[in-house]
A and B are shown apart, each in its own frame.
Chain A
C-alpha cells in the first residue's frame, strides 16, 4: 500500500514539474473554435493546452474552490471581472470574442428572414439557454423582449442548462427551433445546416466574452503563451471564421 501511495505521489509530482502544460476552462459556446486554436497553438509553441468545456457559472464555483485551471475563456465579461476582484484572477482580462446569437432550426426553411417565424408561432417548443445561467440565454430573452414577443412565447420555452444543451435540444429536433450561438452552427462564417436567422446585434446587449489568466496560472509560461496566441492574427482569423465579432 505504501509503495502504491509513493508511486501515485511520484506520478503527481512529475506531472506538476513537467513544464509547458496548461489547463484551460472554456465556455461551452467556444468549445469548437478553442479546440482549433489550441491545436494551432500546440503546433506553433510546443506547449500543451488541455481544454475543459462547460458552463461559465460552474467554472466560477470550481475556480473559487480551487479548481486546477490556469486560464478561463468565459462566455461573459462579468465572471472574469468578478474573479479578478476576488483575487482569483490576475488583472489581464481582455475581450477575445463578441458572441453572435442565431435563431436556428435543424429543418431547412423553418426559420425565415428576420425571424418572422417567431410571430407566426408555428412551433411547440423554442429552446433557450437558461437566462439566469447563460449569457446567450440572457441575450435571447432581450431579443424577444425587443421584438415584443417575450411574454407570448414564454410558455413554449424549454431551457437548456447551457448553450451546448440548448443546441442539442434543437439539433435532435425535439425543439423545432431555438436561440444558439452562431459559432455552433457556422461553417465558414455562414449557417451550415438547417435554417437560421442571425439576430442583429442591436437587439441585445453585446455578448462580450472575456479571457483571463487565473491566479494559479501566474507563473505558468504555457498559460501566458496561450493568451498571447489568442490575441494573435491566426487565432483571430479562426474566431472570426466561426462568426464571432472582434473588438
Chain B
C-alpha cells in the first residue's frame, strides 16, 4: 500500500481527535439535550439556535473567529494564557475544542429528539415508585433513548473525521498534532500527488459509507424513518 508514515500518523491523529471529541460531546451534550427536551424556558429557542449554528455556518467563519478568539488578544486566548496554558491554536487541545463546537449539533439534536419522544407519564410512574431523578435517568431514559445515543455518537464521530475547514484555519498543519486526514488529502492534491490523495480519499469515502450504512441498518429508529 503506498501510504506513508505521515499518512498513517494523520489517520491515527484523526481517530484520536474524533474519539475524544465524541466522548466529551456525549458527556456535555446529554444534560444540554435533556434540558432542551424538557424545559419551557423562554430562551430555549435562543439556546437551540446557538446549538444549531455550526450546521449552517461555513467552517471558515467558525475557523476565523476561533483563530481570533483563541489568539493572544482574544477573550479565550487571554483566559488560557492567564491559566498558564498558552494559546490554543496549533495545538491538539485547540482542535478538540474546535471540533466540539463544530460537531455539537450532530450530537445534541439526535439526543434531544430521543428525549422528547419519551412520554412524560413514564417519568411520573418512575417517580411514584420512588425512583430518584438520577435513577429514572439511568434506568428509564437511557435504555429508551439508546438509538438516540447511538446516532449521536456515530454522527458526532463521523462529522469530526470529516472536519476540514476549521482545522485548516486553526491547525497550522503540524505532524502528529494537527495534521488530520482531510488536511493531508488536501496537501496531496495541492502538491499534485494524486495517487496518494486517491488512497486516502478513497479510504475516507469507504469509511463514511460503512459508518452510515451501519447506522441505517442497525439502528431501529433510523430504520423506521427510511
- Could you list which residues of chain A lie within 8 angstroms of chain B, going by C-beta atoms? 55, 57-58, 60-61, 124-125, 127, 130, 132-133, 157-161, 165, 168-169, 172-175
Contacts and interface: CB of A to CB of B under 8 A. Distances in A.
Given A125-B90, A157-B174, A174-B89, A168 B187 contact: no
18 contacts: A58-B190, A124-B86, A125-B172, A127-B172, A132-B190, A133-B190, A133-B191, A158-B173, A159-B172, A159-B173, A160-B172, A160-B173, A161-B190, A172-B73, A173-B71, A173-B73, A174-B70, A174-B89
Given A169-B172, A172-B67, A158 B90 contact: yes
Contact of A172 (B68, B168, B190): B68
Contacts, number: 58
A125 B171 CA distance: 12
Contacts of B174: 157-159
A61 B168 CA distance: 20
A173 B67 CA distance: 10
A174 B173 contact: no
A57 B71 CA distance: 29
Q: Counting chain A CB atoms within 10 Å of each CB, which of B87, B172, B192 scores highest?
A: B172
Nearest to A58: B190
B72 interface: yes
B173 A61 contact: no
Contacts of B189: 61
Contacts of B173: 130, 158-161
Interface string B189-221: 111100000000000000000000000000000
Nearest to B64: A168
